[in-house]
Chains A and B, each alone.
Chain A
Amino acid sequence: MQDLELKQMWQAYDTKLDKLLVLNLRHFEQLQTQKANAKINSFVRNQVVWILLGVVWTAFLGVLVFNALHNLWFAVSVGIIMVFTAYATLVYLKSVVEIRQINFDENITLAQQKLSGVQASFNQNGRLLFLQAPFYCTWFINPSMYKNVVGMCITLGIAVLFAVLAVWLYRALAPKNMHRPWVKNLTKSLGGNHIIAANEFLEEIAAFKEENLA
């Protein structure tokens, strides 16, 4: 089979389309409006809701901290959780803005690399939230518990265990470890299918761009 034959086959496509294809643009205005509305709806549904939830949760935690400044353990624990939530919300907002700024009239590898890069960065956000886990084990500690040494040791022991586990998970779930099956499975089980797909596509783009003259 020659190159020419491939092109001839493809040219048959033009003949067929010339005869049969109709581009129906009578309702172009309607298409424009409805597509724009559909985009806004899905944007509101998917992203604004998460950002609003993040803001509301951060504000709620802020109020709790403000009203409990006298309770050191509670204020510090909840304060740290609040900082994590605020940071995650900001990073998410930044990702949403970055995705919206990608121009599809840029070359394919560049645009797709940017898009997949932002999608893969959601991973950073998700794994960062693990680090707040130990503070969910310390907010209820109060001075009256100091007398119960065993109880305090158990509580702090659990918090330390969570801290170790959180740091381990944070390091293990790094994008550079995504090739390991268990990391992939864990990311999938935490709802990160799109993150895995984005990382795989980033690797595919890098391979595609690579000059291989061998």
Chain B
Amino acid sequence: MANSETIKDLFLQQLQLHKRIVYKICHAYCKNKDDIEDLAQEIIYQLWKSFDRYDATYKFSTWMYRIALNTAISFYRSTKKNHHHYLDQLQVVEMAAAGEETDMETNLNLLQQCISQLKELDKALMILYLEENSYREIAEITGITESNVATKISRIKEKLKQKISSQIDTHARS
């Protein structure tokens, strides 16, 4: 019993350490608040369900990205037609109200918006790249070769840069 409590504590500790990953993925794959909450709950549930298979010789974050992204992609594909299943009395992700928006935050919103328009798998690649994962780690998580990761990321980056630049221009002109 004490052992299972220790495992749970260890899991919650790791989850707290990497909570930003959960939120960023939820935010990239869902638009509205209810979906974000629903997906966050689903990811945490899936992580906990798989935690006994986690091999501690590998980085926790790599394992977490795999489960979180797989859950998010499947969730994204099913919520296009399904209704919410979230347990509204258990809000797990809470964002405190932000103050005034700085230029950096405006740019961040723009970047998030452009990322959210990418295809599901490209979105996963871009999140992993921006999160400073190495090409090798990204290849491991996505299941494609390192050279393919490099080619794809370079193309997606170009697309994103063009989109963001044109939006910044439009914004500046208006």
- Residues of A whose CB lies within 8 Å of any CB of B are 1, 3, 6-10, 12-14, 16-25, 27-28, 30-32, 34-36, 38, 42, 103-112, 115, 193-194, 197, 201, 204-205, 208-213
Contact = CB atoms under 8 A, between A and B. Distances in A.
Given A7-B132, A17-B23, A208-B144, A23 B93 contact: yes
Interface in B7-37: 8, 12, 15-16, 19-20, 22-24
Contact of A12 (B12, B53, B108): B108
Interface in B64-99: 66-67, 69-71, 73-74, 77, 80-81, 85, 87, 90-98
B105 interface: yes
Contacts of A30: 87, 90
Interface of B: 8, 12, 15-16, 19-20, 22-24, 41-42, 44-46, 48, 50, 53-54, 63, 66-67, 69-71, 73-74, 77, 80-81, 85, 87, 90-98, 104-105, 107-108, 110-112, 119-122, 124, 130-132, 140-145, 147-148, 151-152, 157, 160-161, 164-165
14 contacts: A6-B130, A17-B23, A22-B93, A23-B92, A24-B91, A24-B94, A25-B15, A30-B87, A31-B90, A38-B87, A105-B70, A107-B143, A208-B144, A213-B151
Classify the secondary structure of A's interface with B: helix
Given A16-B98, A211-B147, A108 B16 contact: no
A209 B125 CA distance: 12
Given A6-B130, A107-B140, A107-B141, A205 B66 contact: no
B17 to A, nearest CB: 10
B71 A20 contact: no
B20 A205 contact: no
A34 B93 contact: no
Contact of B108 (A9, A105, A204, A211): A9
Q: 4 tightest A-B contacts by CB?
A: A107-B143, A109-B143, A23-B19, A10-B130
Given A3-B157, A112-B73, 13 more contacts: A16-B98, A20-B95, A23-B15, A28-B8, A28-B12, A30-B90, A31-B44, A31-B92, A35-B45, A36-B45, A104-B70, A104-B71, A109-B142
Most-contacted residue by chain B among A20, A110, A208 (CB, 10 A): A208
Contacts of B63: 105
Contact of B93 (A10, A19, A21, A213): A21
B67 A104 contact: yes
B142 to A, nearest CB: 5
A7 B92 CA distance: 27
